[in-house]
Structure 1
Amino acid sequence: MDKIFYGYLLVSDMDGTLLNDSGKLSDKNRKAIEYFINKGGNFTLATGRTIASAGRFLEEIEVTLPVILYNGTKIYDYKNEKVIYEEFIEEDRKDIITLIKNNYPTLGIEVYSEESIYIYSSCKYTDRFSKLGYDVIYDLPKEVWDKKWTKALIVGEENEIDFLEEKLDNIYGNIIRSGAKYLEIVPNNISKGKAIEKLVDIYNINFKKLITVGDNMNDIEMIKLADYGFCVESGAERTIKSTKFIAPSNENNAIEYIINWIENNLIRNKKENLNSFLERNMTYV
């Protein structure tokens, strides 16, 4: 079989990119990923999700490399059930959530620690877990403060999150806007982009053959990292404005489009250019 995608790595965000608005994987995207991998390509995910949450989809799609979780805080090898890389929120930054709870009581606050989810402050958006079948602890016991935290997530109305983002930016370290209603506190110097750099280094991937795709502000760094970084047309305005390549919306099989684009623009064009060069420079004896 012709391994036309050999050496290429496609890294995709999940929600709002790979998955449609109902959180489902389309058959066209699934078949395109299967085709890409069968033809030699590497495919993996970069998401804000947990091990369990992202892992549910790996029954539907194959990944050939470890998955980036928690917006870059953890890299996990599902095949070998092994953490490849992990960082934690600095101890002196944990108190941010108490400040937020006291000053913005309408916002929900979630703490992610040791693959458990703790609800420090409830709102209508923190109730989403009850519909998804996840084990969630609606409390933040004292002993959890002494554990290592992977991230904290602030949820609320878009205008509230806009205001809080502006207040926290450049004051409390690494704050990531992962959606209209989501603001995440993650370890300093952590992002999806930096995690991809680690993955590329570990697996000796050629940066010139890296393709990334996302939809939201937390994807901007990884999109800019790649020579061929895409934002779906349904993505956040800030992300679209900072992106050179635009793919169809997450409702219109963005991953299938990108894989076709790679084949038509990076593979076939390269072969055609090479053949044209050889024809122009061929000498006959």
Structure 2
Amino acid sequence: MIQTLSDIYLYSDIDGTLGIAGLGIPQRNRQAIARFVEKGGHFALCTGRGITNIKPFVEGLPINADSVIGNGCAVYSFAEDRAHSVTYIPPQGEDYLREILSQHREFGVLLINEEGYFILKEEGRPDQCFSREFPRRTLEELQGPYYKFLFVVPEEDAQQVYEELKSRPYPGVDFVRSALTSIEMLPHGVSKASAFLKLCKEQNIPIENTVFIGDFYNDREMFLSAGFPTCVGTTPEDLKPLCKMVLGPCMDGAVADLIQWLEERYPPAKA
């Protein structure tokens, strides 16, 4: 039961919700999060990003609760600067990757684990489709394990490619659309929501005290699992009915608008 802001655990997606790569985080969001935490609130991330791609983007934010990263492949403590748990793609996932790549020369590929992000280097494969420069690895240099593989595909083909990959008989892995041009291979059964629910159980966080804000299909399970699910205005129309509140655009300060709404309804923590 929520009585004060200190009872609330607010989980925010990053890309398209908290901020946008290349543009950063709106100052309104930064100020509101600092205010929310100062008043006793718990703020955490629930993102598809890996930790090495999170830290530079959120530098300066007072993240004071354990966060879900890698679309649920890990739970990360910013206070302790370590992952509590990591779930990896099984060894056969590398065989699936090779099979997919042999049939789709047009895909750009990122390999992601705790060490960082790596662009798959292969003759004839696009590697200029990423917003940042990353180290490169060949298929012979995979050096796993990895917790996810990310495929960059043309936006107009993304849904069809996603449906095709999802239909493949690949035990041990699942596929999810994480952005307009991104499809990810994840360990089977892993999602933001699976890690979130496990975290809440282990830390005795009441689900009814949780608030989530997201924007895309990899947030669907969170919209169904969080106590008070919300989304930004650019969220696909078929996802909006799953949310209890639809806010404005990301860069207008959607997270700040949500925090302001919470502040108007709940007092700060008691001194």
TM-score of the superposed pair, with normalisation by structure 1 = 0.84
Q: Distance in 2 between matches of 1:50 and 1:227?
A: 25
Cross-structure match for 2:163: 166
Moved more, 16-25 or 153-162: 16-25
Provide the residue aligned with 1:155 in structure 2: 152
Matches of 1:24 and 1:238, distance apart in 2: 27
**Would you say 1:139 and 2:143 are equivalent positions?**
no
Deviations, residues 189-223 of structure 1 (Å, cap 9, x unaligned): 11111111122123221211100010110011112
Give 1:252's aligned residue.
252
Q: Is the helix fraction higher in 1 or 2? A: 1
Shift of 1:155: 0.4
Cα distance in 2 for partners of 1:127, 1:158 equals 14
Aligned pair in 2 of structure 1 residues 100, 224: CA closer, same or farther (>3 Å)?
A: same
Conserved 8 A contact 2:51-2:114: no
Q: Cα offset for 1:125?
A: 5.0
Unaligned residue ranges in structure 1 (runs of 5+)? 269-285
Counterpart in the other structure of 1:51:
51
**RMSD between aligned residues:** 2.0
Structure possessing the higher radius of gyration over alpha carbons: 1
CA distance 1:168–1:227, change in 2 (3 Å): same
Distance 1:179 1:127 in 2: 13
- CA shift, 1:160, in A, is 2.4
Please give the alpha-carbon distance, in whole angstroms, between the structure 2 residues aligned to 1:29 and 1:102: 43
What is the distance in 2 between the residues matched to 1:263 and 1:117?
Answer: 37
Give the partner amino acid of 1:62: P
Tell me, yes or no, if the aligned pair for 2:50 and 2:113 is still in contact at 8 Å. Answer: no
Deviation at 1:4, TM superposition (A): 3.1
Distance 1:57 1:128, change over 3 A: closer
The C-alpha deviation readout for 1:5-25, integer Å capped at 9, x for no partner, is 011100000010000464311
Cα offset, 1:129, TM superposition: 2.3
* Matched residue, 2:186: 186
Contact 2:46/2:67 (<8 A) preserved: yes
Residues 30, 127 of structure 1: alpha-carbon distance in 2 compared, 3 angstrom cutoff: closer
Q: Letter of the aligned partner of 1:60 in structure 2?
A: G
Displacement of 1:143 after TM fit?
Answer: 5.6
Q: Is the contact made by 1:108 and 1:123 (CA closer than 8 Å) also made in structure 2? A: yes
CA distance in 2, matches of 1:127, 1:27: 25
Q: Size of the alignment, in residue pairs? A: 259
The whole-number CA distance in structure 2 between the counterparts of 1:241 and 1:158 is 24
1:123 aligns with 2:126: yes
Quick check: 92-101 or 236-245, which moved more? 236-245
Amino acid at match of 1:240: K
Alpha carbons of structure 1 residues 27 and 143: separation in structure 2 relative to 1, 3 Å: closer
Residue 13 of structure 2 contacts residue 215 of structure 2 at CA under 8 Å; is this kept in 1?
yes
CA distance in 2, matches of 1:110, 1:227: 33
* Structure with higher RCO (Cα < 8 A, 6+ apart): 2
Q: Structure 1's 48 and 23: CA in aligned 2 closer, same or farther, altered over 3 A? A: farther
* Structure 2: 5+ residue stretches without partners: none
